[in-house]
Amino acid sequence: MAIHASRYSGGRGRRHSPIRKKSGGKRKGFGRKFVGLLLLAVVAGAAYVAFALVQPFPKLPNQKDYPVGVNYKDRINILLARIDGEEVKYLAVVSVAGGARTRIVTVSPDVVVKIPQGNGEGSLAMAMRLGNGGEGGVNLLRDAVSRLVAAPIDGYVISDSNGWRSVESIYGDSYDSLWTSVSSVTGRFSVAWQGLPKGVYTSFSKLEFAKLASGDFGVAEVVNGAKYETARSAVGAGFDTATFDNEVGSGFSEKSVVRDHPRVSVVNGSGVAGVGIEMARYVRNLGGQVVNVSTADKTVKSTEIVDHLGGSTLAVRLVGVTRGSLRSDTKLSQADIEVVIGEDAKTWF
């Protein structure tokens, strides 16, 4: 009996001990594999999101790159347009700023402006057609619209006829409903993730648009630019810039500029009449104070912005408008910022 008990108990112990170890090993192995697969899925998902965000939106061909508008913390102004071939069907400037009301300023393509790059007077639609023969119509149109409203344009969102039909089917058949839908939190993240309908183009990358999508923008207000049109001529409608600036211009102001309220001196050394006055409009609309506008005794070769404040947002904005150089000078001056417009203004004004 003793031998039998010893053999029975010993054998049972040897048979069951390896089984318990093997079962535990399976469970641990499965757990490690599961965690590994989960981590792989997380990494793959993050990589997919990153890949989706860095993929560019379709841009219009033959257009120069725009400045990256999302680097400006205060306000971003976007050219919104529908262009069928060379025919401009709709124009607006969408101005958005964190914690502030969004403004959509509509502008008729028939409004007459001084077309940049020395092209004389003509309609905004003409600026588009003239541009297609050179650097690109949207670039010249962008500069012409910017000059009309005296506010920097940071990028564009433009549709052709096919793109507009796609937009209508998704967002509705009016430009106002389009912007209301796209500018909603859901709409912004949807565009940032899925992309734009075919036939819609933008200068913003998906990453830039995703940053825009995370902003807290106020409700949209539409300003009908037709209110400021004056008598029409054979060329097109005039535009009352003085009344526009008084009633709408402050809507383009930027918080940091208003806070500093820099005093700005403008000297026109370009040899082009009226450029100093037009530059003063930009200064006021952005929130600065114009203390002097004068004409230089002789022409200056290159445009320069001298920033006596150091790191002024307004100085950076004016560099973007003029394509001039920026120089910091902390010496005391009667003006906080000095804008000296050179002969190179003929290439952009």
Segment 42-74, tens digit of pLDDT: 555 444 444 454 555 666 665 665 555 445 568
286 and 167, same structural domain? no
Q: Residues 342, 323, 345, CA angle at the centre, nearest 5°?
A: 35
Do both 190 and 310 map to the same domain? no
Residue 27 confidence (pLDDT):
55
pTM metric for this prediction: 0.78
pLDDT for 49 equals 47
Classify residue 302: in a domain, yes or no.
yes
**pLDDT score of 3:** 46
Q: Say if CB 49 and CB 206 are below 8 A apart.
A: no
Mean pLDDT over each residue of the chain, to the nearest integer = 79
Query: Given pLDDT bands bounded at 50, 70 and 90, which one contains residue 9?
Result: very low
Together in a domain, 76 and 187: yes
Asked whether residue 210 falls in the same domain as residue 280, the answer is no
Q: Are residues 38 and 174 in the same domain?
A: no
Give the per-residue pLDDT at 134. Answer: 45
Q: Label residues 279-288 b or e (16+ Cβ within 10 Å = b).
A: bbbbbbbbbb
At 5 the pLDDT is: 46
Given a cut of 80, whether residue 327 has pLDDT beyond it is yes
Residue 76 lies in a domain: yes
Among residues 193, 209, 239, the one where a domain terminates is 239
Range of the structural domain that residue 45 is part of: 17-54
Residue given tokens 């796609």 in the structure block: 166
Report if residue 218 sits inside a domain: yes
From 188, 217, 239, the end of a domain falls on: 239
Amino acid 74: pLDDT = 81
Q: Which amino acid is at 281?
A: R
Same domain, 79 and 156: yes
Mean pLDDT across 12-35: 53
β-strand pairing of 229-232 with 237-239:
antiparallel
Residue 60 lies in a domain: no
Residue 278 forms part of a structural domain: yes
Q: Of the candidates 189, 208, 239, which is a domain's last residue?
A: 239
CATH of the domain at 182: 3.40.630.190
Count of C-beta atoms within a 10 Å radius of residue 85: 10
Give yes or no for residue 322 having a pLDDT over 50: yes
Residue 8 has pLDDT above 50, yes or no: no
294 within domain boundaries:
yes
Of 237, 288, 231, nearest in space to 260 by CA: 288
168 membership: H or E segment, kind and range: helix 161-171
Claim to verify: residue 235 and residue 261 sit in the same structural domain: no
- pLDDT score at 156: 86
115 and 235 together in one domain: yes
The CATH code of the domain that includes 297 is 3.30.70.2390
For residues 233 and 108, state if they share a domain: yes
Same domain flag for 325 and 232: no
Number of domains comprising the chain: 3
Residue 14: is its pLDDT beyond 90? no
**Range from 78-82, 149-153, 172-176 carrying the lowest mean pLDDT:** 172-176
Q: State whether 26 and 173 are in the same domain.
A: no
Q: Does some domain include residue 245?
A: no
Alpha-helical segments (H) within 112-160: 124-131, 137-149
**pLDDT over 90 for what percent of the chain?**
37
pLDDT surpassing 50 at residue 210: yes
Give domain status of residue 247, yes or no. no
Q: Please state, for a pLDDT cut of 70, what percent of the chain lies above it.
A: 68
Lowest mean pLDDT among 68-77, 162-171, 290-299, 333-342: 68-77
Q: Which two tokens stand for residue 309?
A: 């404040």
One domain for residues 230 and 258: no
CA-to-CA dists, residue 347 to 21, 68, 113, 115, 265, angstroms:
82, 22, 16, 11, 22
Question: Please, which pLDDT band fits residue 349 given cuts at 50, 70 and 90?
Answer: confident
Query: Residue 239 above 50 pLDDT?
Result: yes
